Structure 1
Amino acid sequence: MTIKRLVAAMLLAGLSNSVLAEQSFTVQDIQVEGLQRVALGAALNNLPFNIGDTITDATLSRSIKSLYAAGHFDDIQVFRDGSTVIYRLKERPTINNIEFDGNKDIKEDQLNESLTAQKIVVGEPLDKTVIKEVENGLTEFYHGVGKYNAAVEMKVTYLPRNRVNLKIEFEEGDAASVRQINIVGNEIFSDEELLKNIESLYDLPWWRFLSSDRYQKQTLQGDFEKIRSYYLDRGYLRFNIDANQVSVSTDKTSVYVTLNVTEGEQYTITGVDFVGDLIGQDEFIKALLPLKAGQLYNGALVTYTEESIAKLLARFGYANSKVRTIPTINDDTKEVALTISVEPGKRVYVRRLEVAGNASTKDEVIRREVRQMEGAWLSNDALELSKERIQRLPYIEKVEFETKEVAGVDDKVDVGFKIKEQPSGNFNAGISYGDFQGLSFQIGVEQQNFFGTGNSAGISLSTNRYNRQIALSVTDPYFTLDAVSLGGQIFYSDTDYSSLSSNLEAYKQKRYGFGASIGYPINEYNRLNFGTNYAVNEINSLSEYDQLRHFRAVLMDKNDPDGGYKFTNYELIASWIQSTLNRGLFPTAGHELVLSGRITTPNSDLQYYKTTFSARKYIPLSNDHRWSFLSKLDLGYGNGYGSKNGYDYTLPFTDNFYAGGQNLRGFEARIIGPHAIYRQVSTIPGLPNPTGDSGGAYPTDPSFDTYIVSPRSTGGNAMAIATLELITPTPFVGEDYVNQIRTSLFVDAGNVWDTEFDLSRYDGLSPSTSQNFNSPALLDYSDPGLIRVSTGLSLQWISPMGPLTFSLAKIIQKEEGDDQENFSFNIGTTF
Structure 2
Amino acid sequence: MKCKQLVLIALMAFTSLSFAQSKSEFVVEDIRVIGLQRVALGAALTYLPVQVGDELNPFRVSQLIRSLYSSTHFEKVEILRDGNVLVVRVSERPTISNIVYEGNDDIKDEQLQDSLENSNIRVGEPLDRTVLTSIENGLKDFFYSIGKYNAEVSAIVTPLPRNRVDLKFLFEEGDAAKIKQINIVGNEVFDDETLFDVMELKFDTPWWDFTSETRYQQQTLSGDLENLTSYYKDRGYLRFAVSTTQVSMTPEKDAIYVGMNVEEGEQYTISEVELVGDLLGFEGFLNQVLPLSAGELYNQATVTYTEEFISKYLGRFGYAYPTVTTIPDINDEDKTVKLSLSVDPGKRIYVRRINFQGNVITADEVLRQNLSQLEGTWLSDSLLESSKASLSRLTYMETVDFETIRVPGQDDKVDVEFKVKEQASGSFTAGVGYGDNTKLSLNAGIQQDNFLGTGKRIGLNVSTVSYQQSIQLNYTDPYFTIDGISLGGNIGYSKFDGGDFGVVQYDSKRYQIGANIGYPINEVNRISFGLTYANVELSSDNTSYEQTSRFYDQFRSLDDPDSSIKYESFLASTSWTRSTLNRGLFPTDGSSQRASFSITTPNSDVNYFKMIADTKWYFALSQNQRWSVLARMRLGYGNGYGSKNGTEQILPFTENFTAGGADTLRGFEDNTVGPRGVQRIASQIGTTPLGTPIFGSPDTDRIGVSPRSLGGNAMAIGGLELIVPTPFVESEFDSSVRTSVFVDVGNVWDTEFDYDEYKDLNFVGRTGEGQPAVLGDYSDWSQFRTSAGVSVQWISPMGPLVFSFSKEINSRDGDNPKFFTFNIGSTF
| TM-score of the superposed pair, with normalisation by structure 1 | 0.92
Indicate the SS of the match to 1:278. coil
How far apart, CA to CA, are the structure 2 residues paired with 1:472 and 1:559?
A: 39
Relative to structure 1, is the Cα distance of residues 781 and 247 closer, same or farther in structure 2, using a 3 angstrom cutoff? farther
Distance apart, 1:522 and its partner CA: 0.8
Q: For residue 133 of structure 1, report the CA deviation from its aligned partner.
A: 1.4
Of 708, 711, 730 in structure 2, the residue corresponding to residue 712 of structure 1 is 708
Q: What is the DSSP-based 3-state SS (H/G/I as helix, E as strand, rest coil) of the residue aligned with 1:445?
A: strand
C-alpha separation in 2, matches of 1:427 and 1:251: 63
CA deviation after TM superposition for structure 1 residue 530, in Å: 0.3
Return the match for 1:432 from 432, 435, 441: 435
- Secondary structure of the corresponding residue to residue 820 of structure 1: coil
User: Shift of residue 101 of structure 1?
Assistant: 2.8
Moved more, 213-222 or 580-589: 213-222
User: In structure 2, what is the Cα distance between the partners aligned to 1:491 and 1:755?
Assistant: 31
The 1:772/1:711 distance shift into structure 2, 3 A limit, reads closer
Structure 1 residues 156 and 19, CA, compared in 2 at 3 Å: closer, same or farther?
closer
Mean CA deviation greater in 133-142 or 25-34: 25-34
1:264 equivalent in structure 2:
265
Matched residue, 2:531:
532
For residues 326-378 of structure 1, give each alpha carbon's deviation from its aligned partner in whole angstroms, at most 9, with x where no partner exists: 22223333222222222222222111111121111111111111111111111
After superposition, the CA RMSD in angstroms is 2.5
The percentage of counterpart residues that share the same residue type is: 52
Return closer, same or farther for 1:461/1:167 CA change in 2, 3 Å cut-off: same
Could you tell me which amino acid in structure 2 is paired with residue 106 of structure 1?
I
Read off the aligned partner of 2:539 and give its amino acid letter.
N
Q: Do the aligned partners of 1:536 and 1:567 also contact (CA within 8 Å) in 2?
A: yes
* CA distance in 2: counterparts of 1:314 and 1:34, whole angstroms: 63
Residue 4 of structure 2 corresponds to which residue in structure 1? none
Distance (whole Å) between structure 2 residues aligned to residue 657 and residue 515 of structure 1: 21
Quick check: 1:607 aligned with 2:604? no
> 2:399 aligns to what?
398
Q: Which residue in 2 is equivalent to 1:586? A: 586
**Residue number among 680, 696, 719 corresponding to 1:700 in the alignment:** 696
Instruction: Give me the whole-angstrom Cα distance separating, in 1, the residues matched to 2:338 and 2:499.
Output: 85
1:775 to 746, 771, 777: 771
Contact kept in structure 2, 1:599 and 1:610, CA below 8 Å: yes
Partner amino acid for 2:425? S
CA 1:129–1:770 in structure 2 vs 1: closer, same or farther (change >3 Å)?
closer
Local SS of the residue matching 1:667: coil
Which residue of structure 1 lines up, in the alignment, with residue 789 of structure 2?
Answer: 792
Is 2:368 the partner of 1:367?
yes
1: distance between equivalents of 2:276 and 2:99? 57
Which amino acid in 2 is paired with 1:657? F
- The C-alpha deviation readout for 1:502-557, integer Å capped at 9, x for no partner, is xx832211111111100001111110000001111111132211122321222222
Given that 1:796 and 1:830 are in contact with CA atoms closer than 8 Å, whether structure 2 keeps it comes out as: no
SS of 1:612 mapped into structure 2: strand
Q: Which range moved further: 600-609 or 190-199?
A: 190-199
Task: Give distance in 1, aligned partners of 2:440 and 2:760.
Answer: 40
Which of 219-228 and 209-218 deviates more? 209-218
Q: Output one character per residue of 1:481-507: Cα deviation in whole Å (capped at 9) or x when no partner.
A: 101111111121112346899xx8322
- Listed as ranges, the gaps of 5+ residues in structure 1 are 1-15, 690-694
What are the within-5 Å matches in structure 2 for residues 332-411 of structure 1?
A: 332-411=333-412
Superposition pairs for residues 220-231 of structure 1, below 5 Å? 220-231=221-232
Following the alignment from structure 1 to structure 2, what is the Cα–Cα distance between the partners of residues 47 and 687?
A: 127
Q: Secondary structure at the match of 1:613?
A: strand
**CA offsets 1:76-120 (integer angstroms, 9 cap, x no match):** 222334544332211111112222233343233222211111010
2:825 equivalent to 1:828: yes
* Residues 1:445 and 2:446 are matched in the alignment: yes
CA–CA distance in structure 1, aligned partners of residues 623 and 279 of structure 2: 32
**TM-aligned CA deviation for residue 51 of structure 1:** 3.4
Alignment partner, residue 205 of structure 2: 204
Compared CA separation, residues 639 and 231, structure 1 to 2 (3 A): same
2: distance between equivalents of 1:162 and 1:470?
A: 68
**Against the structure 1 CA distance between its residues 226 and 102, is the aligned structure 2 distance closer, same or farther, given a 3 Å change threshold?**
same
- Is the deviation greater in 82-91 or in 173-182? 173-182
Following superposition of structure 1 onto structure 2, how do residues 4-23 of structure 1 map, counting pairs within 5 Å? none
Which residue does 1:8 correspond to in 2? Answer: none
* 1:443 to partner: Cα distance: 6.3
1:463 alignment partner in structure 2: 464
Residue 729 of structure 1 corresponds to: 725
- CA apart distance, 1:671: 1.0
In structure 2, the CA distance between the partners of 1:401 and 1:684, relative to structure 1 (3 Å rule), is same
* Contact in 2 for aligned 1:708/1:775 (Cα 8 Å): no
Determine the structure 2 residue equivalent to 1:519: 518
Q: Within 2, Cα distance between the matches of 1:198 and 1:528? A: 51
Deviation at 1:780, TM superposition (A): 0.9
Q: d(CA) in 2 for partners of 1:49 and 1:507?
A: 98
Deviation at 1:804, TM superposition (A): 1.7
Distance across 2 between alignment mates of 1:356 and 1:770: 66
> How far 1:206 sits from its partner (Å)?
1.7
Aligned partner of 2:418 in structure 1 is 417
Structure 2 CA distance for aligned equivalents of residues 544 and 465 of structure 1: 24
Task: Name the SS for the 1:703 alignment partner.
Answer: helix
Residue type at the aligned position of 1:758? D
Q: Is the 8 A contact 2:49 2:63 kept in 1?
A: yes
- Describe the shift of the 1:710–1:439 C-alpha distance in structure 2 as closer, same or farther (beyond 3 A): farther
Q: Which moved more, 1:404-413 or 1:766-775?
A: 766-775
Q: Give the partner amino acid of 1:433.
A: D
SS in structure 1 opposite 2:81? strand
Quote the Cα distance in structure 1 between the aligned partners of 2:197 and 2:235. 16
Cα deviation 1:206-251 (Å, max 9, x = unaligned): 2234655444433332222111111111111111112233344455
Structure 2 residue identity aligned to 1:598? S
The answer as to whether partners of 1:722 and 1:749 remain within 8 angstroms in 2 is yes
Distance in 1 (alpha carbons) for counterparts of 2:293 and 2:497: 74
- CA change 1:750–1:211 in 2 (3 A) is farther
Distance in 2 between residues matched to 1:315 and 1:36, nearest whole Å: 62
Partners of 1:738 and 1:19 in 2: how far apart? 70
Give the C-alpha shift of residue 796 in structure 1: 1.2
The 2-side partners of 1:526 and 1:17 are apart by 84
The answer for the alignment partner of 2:309 in structure 1 is 308
2-structure distance, mates of 1:784, 1:803: 33
Range with greater deviation from structure 2 (614-623 or 464-473): 464-473
Residue number in structure 1 paired with 2:750: 754
Distance 1:274 1:768, change over 3 A: closer
The more displaced of 33-42 and 231-240 is 33-42
Distance 2:381 2:666 in 1: 42
* Structure 1 counterpart SS, 2:793: strand
Alignment of 1:203-282 (within 5 A): 203-209=204-210, 212-282=213-283
